[in-house]
Amino acid sequence: MRRMPELRTDQQSAWADEESPLPPDSWGRASSPRRALPWGFALVIVLLVVGRFTLTPYLTAPALQTWATIFVAICVQALPFLVFGVALSAAITAFVPASFWTKALPRSPAAAVPVAGVAGAVLPGCECASVPVASGLMSRGVTPAAALAFLLASPAINPVVLIATAVAFPGQPLMVLARFGASLVVAVLVGWLWLRFGRSEWLRIPARPPGDGPKWVQFGEAMRHDLLHAGGFLIVGGLAAATLNVTVPREWLTAIAEVPWLAILVMALLAVLLSICSEADAFVAASMTAFSPTAKLAFLVVGPMVDLKLIALQIGTFGKAFAFRFVPLTFTLAVLVSALTGWLLL
């Protein structure tokens, strides 16, 4: 990458030239704390220390603790996937040349969409990983519609998730097939619709700090950038999901299970609200024995594509104008396609 020798001090060029994995020891010591004092952060630390002694004894209400457990669980569980996705996305930005994607994907965008959708099967992660990866693909010049098909397909059709589904529904291989088929169809349809009707100004293609040093510095820079953007929004989603998880009684739901079309809609909404990781949602769906197989399928198809933490992540990554159009479109299509697939297969 380009260097800026005229702006570098001697120390900097020493780092860039030697390509050593760690900067020399002298760095960070000699610096004066004159600029950019992290006051906000100091406040956080003070709150943590003071709160530990003054607040902790009072924060024991069972409802609060249950909420906090679920909130922390959602965050803790999603974090490794987010870090993995962000690392993969940063690797795409830093190490894979843009020309690779133009060669790997069909030239015509309409053909690139299904190819990208099927390619989703190779990313063994859940939905938190797919958002940064899709944004990395877009900023590398992949047609947004194709990257979106990848975004929707990969959390639902990768081998890990399909195996989990097979384990959760023993003796029902059709459920696995239906999940795979319906998810792929929705992803490709959404991709095509976006290609036909989507406008580029709705979608904010994430800019990346270009990085100016050796590749691994760029890699770190891209990761940090994505983590700060996506991480905060992941927490927003976790807050919302934990709150609904604690406040909405499950009995309301089983009462609705009797009406077929309502059951499908309710399971789809539940998938959005609960924001369960796509690697675990099959177990949850299987445990809801009151609902019909088609309703469970709707849960499995909608969950990896639309849920609260995903919506928050998408707003953070691609912008509000995008999310407010993309999310309802995906949700509607996912419900329709799973109802149809369920009617045909299950």
Partner 1 sequence: MVAAVNRVTQNLVLTLLGCAVLRISAFSTTYLNYVKPGFRPFLIGAGAVLVILGVAGLLQASRSKESPAGDEAHGRDHAPEKPAHAGATGEHAHDHATGEHAREHGDGQERHAHGHAHGGPRVAWLMCLPVFAIFLVAPPALGSFAAARDDTPPPREEVLSAFTPLSGDGPVDMQIGEFIGRAWDDEKKSLTGREVRLTGFVVPAKKKGQWYVTRMQIACCAADAFPLKVAVKDLPAPPADTWVEVTGTWIPQDFGKMPNGVVYPQMAGKSLTRIEAPDEPYE
Q: Which of residues 124-153 bind partner 1 (CB under 8 A)?
A: 138-145
- Angle, helices 320-345 vs 308-318, to 10°: value is 140
7-26 positions binding partner 1, by CB under 8 A: 7-9, 11-12, 15, 23
- Considering the rule CB under 8 A, would residue 224 count as an interface residue with partner 1? yes
Task: Please state the closest distance from residue 62 (CB atom) to partner 1, in A.
Answer: 4
Task: Please state the closest distance from residue 2 (CB atom) to partner 1, in A.
Answer: 7
Q: Which of 134, 277, 310, 327 is in the footprint of partner 1 by CB under 8 A?
A: 277
Q: How many CB atoms lie within 10 A of CB 206?
A: 22
Per CB under 8 A, the segment of 178-186, 242-250, 294-302, 324-332 that binds partner 1 is 242-250
Q: Which of 196, 250, 252, 343 is in the footprint of partner 1 by CB under 8 A?
A: 250
Distances (CA, A) of 321 to 188, 206, 316, 327: 21, 14, 11, 11
How many Å apart are CA 215 and CA 278, to the nearest integer?
33
Q: How many CB atoms lie within 10 A of CB 14?
A: 15
Please work out the total of residues on this chain that contact partner 1, with binding judged by CB under 8 A: 115
Task: Please state the closest distance from residue 117 (CB atom) to partner 1, in A.
Answer: 17
Strand, helix or coil for residue 28: coil
User: Residues 167, 168, 171, 175: is their CA dihedral positive or negative?
Assistant: negative
How many Å apart are CA 112 and CA 8, to the nearest integer?
43
- Considering the rule CB under 8 A, would residue 103 count as an interface residue with partner 1? no
Residue among 181 and 237 whose Cβ is closer to partner 1 = 237
Residue among 167 and 344 whose Cβ is closer to partner 1 = 167
- Considering the rule CB under 8 A, would residue 108 count as an interface residue with partner 1? no
Type and span of the H or E element at 13: helix 10-18
318-337 positions binding partner 1, by CB under 8 A: 319-320
x/- site string to partner 1, residues 285 to 304, per CB under 8 A?
Answer: --xxxx--------------
How many Å apart are CA 276 and CA 282, to the nearest integer?
9
Task: Please state the closest distance from residue 92 (CB atom) to partner 1, in A.
Answer: 12
56-75 positions binding partner 1, by CB under 8 A: 56, 59, 62-66, 68-75
Q: Which of 150, 180, 192, 233 is in the footprint of partner 1 by CB under 8 A?
A: 233
Reported for 340-345, long-range contacts at CB under 8 A and 24+ positions apart, including other chains, are 341/178, 341/181, 341/182, 341/185, 341/297, 341/301, 342/178, 342/264, 342/292, 342/293, 342/294, 342/295, 342/297, 342/298, 343/294, 345/174, 345/177, 345/178, 345/181
182-211 positions binding partner 1, by CB under 8 A: 200-201, 203-207, 209-210
Q: What is the dihedral of CA 175, 180, 184, 187, to 10 degrees?
A: 70
Q: Which of 113, 123, 242, 295 is in the footprint of partner 1 by CB under 8 A?
A: 242
149-178 positions binding partner 1, by CB under 8 A: 168, 170-171
